[in-house]
Amino acid sequence: MSGPLLEVEGLWKTYHAHPVLRGVDLKVDAHEVVCLIGASGSGKSTLLRCVNLLEEVDDGAITLDGDEITAPGADPDEVRKRIGMVFQSYNLFPHMSVLDNITLAPVRVHRRGRREAEERARELLERFGLADKAAEYPDRLSGGQQQRVAIIRAMACDPSLLLLDEVTSALDPELVTEVMGIIRELKDQGMTMILATHEMGFARDIADTVCFLSDGVLLERGPAEQIFTEPREPRTREFLRRVLASRRL
Amino acid sequence: MTATPDTWVKSERQLARERARRRAGIRNGSLAAASTIVFLAVVVGGVLASPGWPSVQDKFFDWGEFKGAFPDVLDGFWMNVRIFLIAEPVILVLGLLVALARGLRNPLFFPLRALAVLYTDVFRGIPTILLVFMIGFGLPALRLQGLPTDPAVLGGGALVLSYGAYVAEVFRAGIESIHPSQRSAARSLGLSQAQALRFVVLPQAVRRVVPPLLNDFASLQKDTALVGTLGVVEALRQAQIHSAEDFNYTPYLAAAVLFIALTVPMARFTDHLAARAERRRAPGGK
């Protein structure tokens, strides 16, 4: 099909009359990796949560694969079947084994056979170096392992779009790279992804497009190289200068 | 000599430290034992030395009375156990259903939600003994066809209504204690609201409320004695009958011993579950 996979137009979101997103426009093509950067509270996470309909939008429209998912009659459960999401704090289900975490949605939502779902889950665990953890409970895993399981859990539903909300922010520095590795691998397979991230080096490395958000406005958007080497907007420049000063780039 | 990880020989300093710890351990143990003995001596001595003790011993601790009443009281206690065993599962189901009804967000179910709120408010507010009277004596007075008239059933029903309200609140607290991010994660995977509740929220909530539920059930075990006020011959009632024969209260002691024998194992089991949950939360625990 032609046209972007995801299109966000004039998106507004307010919390108690406080605007968090103010007319955001965003286009994401199939197989594109988009990184959202910006200070805490700039609206990155809220934008992702709106795309997954975990938040009700206050104005504007979001279109996925040609269907408007924010239309009044749209079924959020149907939309979420096509979009995967990974959270900062992993949010694995602590009462289920790794394998059950991964197969829950394929079995209950996508109506796949348990055997088939488990086979696929084991395949994914194998590929991402977690084959020996299938029977473990989340509490027994390191943060990096938990987050990799969370990514696998989202991927097990074969989403056409993956949303990653600051997935390395809660991790110890030495565990960040193992999570980044899995995301890079997904990019190589052609996965369409939107990442909200504070890891500028990673964003620069993996993103096709980088978007800078400031106070709920998508201020600047461009190829990663351009944003990081010659940002047009003074606010972008200022943000990157401060990040650089904190040696996170 | 420098100890390497392979050849660790405890240093003099460590050996001295361990000797000191052992000495402190022995000292603590003897102190605890001594203070317990003194405490018991004072309490027992105080009771035995009190001017009324001979008559209390006669009225409450008469071994002959105890032996004579025990078989009948035990027989009555079987009724308490039966009421408890039947009421408990019904209370669990009722409590869970009421808790779930309170969580319904669909406007279609508003009446159900309102009813659940009304139910918990009313039945938690009424003293249990009053409820036992109202249902035990009031319901049969209506002379409606098909209503049970057996006082044990009516009394058990009153306990179910009263405890159902408490248990509903326990379940609700458990459900609300599960972090919203768990629901978000479930919904983001495409699970419907009901599926998120069924597979993600409820299993965690139920695990969390097992200790408070068992606490409520220890309380229910004792409150089965309230059914005796309707004339049902259970442990307390049997004790009453025996004690009325010669105004000796020892049969009540027999009933008390039986109730304790039932609730103490329950309390220990609750502690055991709580301790296990605590260990699981600890890093590296299973």
Cβ separation B185–A92 shorter than 8 A: yes
Angstroms from B35 CA to nearest CA on chain A: 43
Closest by CA position to A231, among listed A41, A6, A48, A38: A38
Domain boundary among A158, A193, A213: A158
Helix (H) or strand (E) holding B261: helix B250-281
> Model's pTM, two decimal places?
0.84
Which CATH number does the domain housing residue B195 bear? 1.10.3720.10
Tokens 């109202």 correspond to what residue? B134
CA distance A86 to A182: 13
Four-residue CA torsion sign, B67, B73, B78, B81: negative
Cβ separation A153–B184 shorter than 8 A: no
Counting the structural domains of chain A, the total is 2
Secondary structure (3-state) at A187? helix
Q: Give the model's confidence band at B148: pLDDT under 50 very low, under 70 low, under 90 confident, else very high.
A: confident
CA distance A77 to B182: 16
Domain carrying residue A148? 92-158
Q: Which position has the higher pLDDT, B248 or B40? A: B40
Domain boundary among A142, A158, A174: A158
Is A52 inside a domain boundary?
Answer: yes
Closest by CA position to B224, among listed B148, B128, B150, B137: B128
Which CATH number does the domain housing residue A225 bear? 3.40.50.300
Pure H helices in B50-192: 53-60, 63-102, 110-125, 128-133, 139-141, 151-177, 180-188
Residues of B in contact with A105 (CB under 8 A): 189-191
pLDDT of amino acid A2: 65
| pLDDT tens-digit readout, B197-231 | 999 999 999 989 988 898 899 899 999 999 988 98
DSSP A67: E
**In the numeric block, which tokens belong to residue A75?**
């079924």
A222 and A174 co-located in one domain = yes
| pLDDT tens-digit readout, A63-121 | 999 999 999 988 999 999 999 999 999 999 999 999 999 999 999 999 999 999 999 99
Helix axes B202-223, B250-281, angle to 10 degrees: 170
A130 and A183 co-located in one domain = no
Q: Give the model's confidence band at B6: pLDDT under 50 very low, under 70 low, under 90 confident, else very high.
A: confident
Q: Is the pLDDT confidence value at B285 over 50?
A: no
Mean pLDDT of the residues in chain B: 90
* B184: nearest CA partner in chain A: A54
Mean pLDDT of the residues in chain A: 92
Q: Is A27 exposed, middle or buried (0-12, 13-18, 19+ CB in 10 A)?
A: middle
Whether B250 contacts B244, CB under 8 Å: no
| pLDDT tens-digit readout, A156-195 | 999 999 999 999 988 888 888 889 999 999 999 999 999 9
A141 and A166 co-located in one domain = no
Selected residue of B189, B191, B281, B286 to mutate for chain A interface (largest A Cβ count, 10 A):
B189
pLDDT of amino acid B286: 42
Q: Enumerate chain A positions whose Cβ falls within 8 A of a Cβ in B.
A: 52, 54, 76-78, 80-81, 83-85, 87, 89, 91-95, 104-105, 108-110, 139, 153-154, 157
pLDDT of amino acid B143: 83
Domain boundary among A120, A142, A158: A158
Q: Give the model's confidence band at B147: pLDDT under 50 very low, under 70 low, under 90 confident, else very high.
A: confident
A199 and A153 co-located in one domain = no
CA distance A162 to A151: 9
Please give the single-letter amino acid code of residue B147.
Answer: L
A244 and A167 co-located in one domain = yes
A146 and A187 co-located in one domain = no
Cα distances from A43 to residues A15, A36, A195, A234, in angstroms, run: 11, 9, 13, 19
Residues of B in contact with A77 (CB under 8 A): 187, 190-192
Counting the structural domains of chain B, the total is 1
Q: Which residues 6+ apart lie within 8 Å of B63 measured at CB?
A: none
Whether A39 contacts A64, CB under 8 Å: no
Cβ separation B188–A84 shorter than 8 A: yes
Angstroms from A3 CA to nearest CA on chain B: 25
* pLDDT average, residue stretch A124-151: 93
Q: How many helices (H) and strands (E) does chain A have?
A: 9, 10
ipTM over 0.95: no
A77 and A165 co-located in one domain = yes
Tokens 């980088």 correspond to what residue? A210
pLDDT of amino acid B284: 47
Q: Is B61 exposed, middle or buried (0-12, 13-18, 19+ CB in 10 A)?
A: middle
Q: Is the pLDDT confidence value at A247 over 80?
A: no
Domain carrying residue B114? 80-229
A167 and A247 co-located in one domain = yes
| pLDDT tens-digit readout, A190-218 | 999 999 998 888 899 999 999 999 999 99
Is B217 inside a domain boundary?
Answer: yes
